[in-house]
Amino acid sequence: MGGAVSAGEDNDELIDNLKEAQYIRTELVEQAFRAVDRADYYLEEFKDNAYKDLAWKHGNIHLSAPCIYSEVMEALDLQPGLSFLNLGSGTGYLSSMVGLILGPFGVNHGVELHSDVIEYAKQKLDFFIKTSDSFDKFEFCEPSFVTGNCLEISPDCSQYDRVYCGAGVQKEHEDYMKNLLKVGGILVMPLEEKLTKITRTGPSAWETKKILAVSFAPLIQPNHADSGKSRLVHLPPVAVRSLQDLARIAIRGTLKKIIHQEAVSKNGNGLKNPPRLKRRRMRRRRMETIVFLDKEVFASRISNPSDDNNNSEDFEDEGEEEEETKPSELKPDPPVNFLREKVLSLPLPDPLKYYLLYYREK
């Protein structure tokens, strides 16, 4: 058995492999994947498998394979300020990456069946906000999670710009899922063994595209045996930001502009990312095998006609020598958190500085 891409040694190498295999294709999606370390969403004893392109499940906790999440993120076509609903939000890994793109004025909601998984997701979200240096590179749309069956969402809930369902949807529930979308919105879900993208082009008009051949565990049907009544899921209201919170967003945004201007005047091209090591070029290949892992299949990419015309990309030049990496280059200095340094240097009381930093530990 094997995944769609080679295993990485760390989160960045996993993302490099997903880019090489064309699962990650846009800069926004790449930035979000690099900002959220997949291993942080694993239990400690299972972290050795975090950078493999495999799904992981332990009890009710579940993560899909990285190639699935990257295809989902690309298909959602996320933009700042949109509203997003994650059905089967699980650990919150996907919701956190989405929140980095939506920004402070987006909406980021999740519905999860298991209350213990909701608690796990909240712990992981708190850890990300308090400890991740990458958090300061973005303005974050923090996810809100509610417990319940996603097939019992209250009919008076708001519609969303983007919806993802992380469990297999039967044909009988397709219209239910479509009705969660605004006109112009995008729904991504596993529908009849295919990861499917549905765009609502009008009140009763839809465009459908099949992305990947997959097999997810199906949605769990509501059980009304105990009470005989439906337990409607009420999604969080769209929160209105406080004036204090708006001020924090504005101040952080202004400081980032100042940092960028200072860097431009210093070196002429803005802040540079830390140098990345040159990695050996992998051979892209069309997935013919299907990988089973706890009822989830995640490998077999649906071929496009153009794929057969690009076979020349599938071969690497065996005579080409990769550049040797000097030992001194193996461990570059960690990137500097310029925003944190700027905030700490301001002539402000410490409590206000900590507020601007979201009371983060690093």
Number of H helices, E strands in the chain: 9, 11
| Burial class (CB within 10 angstroms; exposed 0-12, middle 13-18, buried 19+) of 276 | exposed
Closest to 22 (Cα-Cα) out of 314, 279, 253, 240? 314
301 phi and psi angles, rounded to 5 deg: -75, 135
Structure-token pair, residue 292: 């089973």
Q: Is 230 a catalytic residue?
A: no
Closest to 173 (Cα-Cα) out of 223, 221, 234, 206? 221
Q: How many CA atoms lie within 13 A of 117 on its CB side?
A: 22
Q: Any bridge partners for residue 111, and if so which?
A: 87, 146
Q: Given 64, 83, 96, 132, which residue is catalytic? A: 64
* Rounded Cα distance, 357 and 114, in Å: 32
Whether 187 and 180 have beta carbons less than 8 Å apart is answered as yes
- Looking only at the bridges linking them, the beta strands covering 83-87 and 107-112 are parallel
Closest to 355 (Cα-Cα) out of 230, 252, 208? 252
Q: Which residues are catalytic?
A: 64
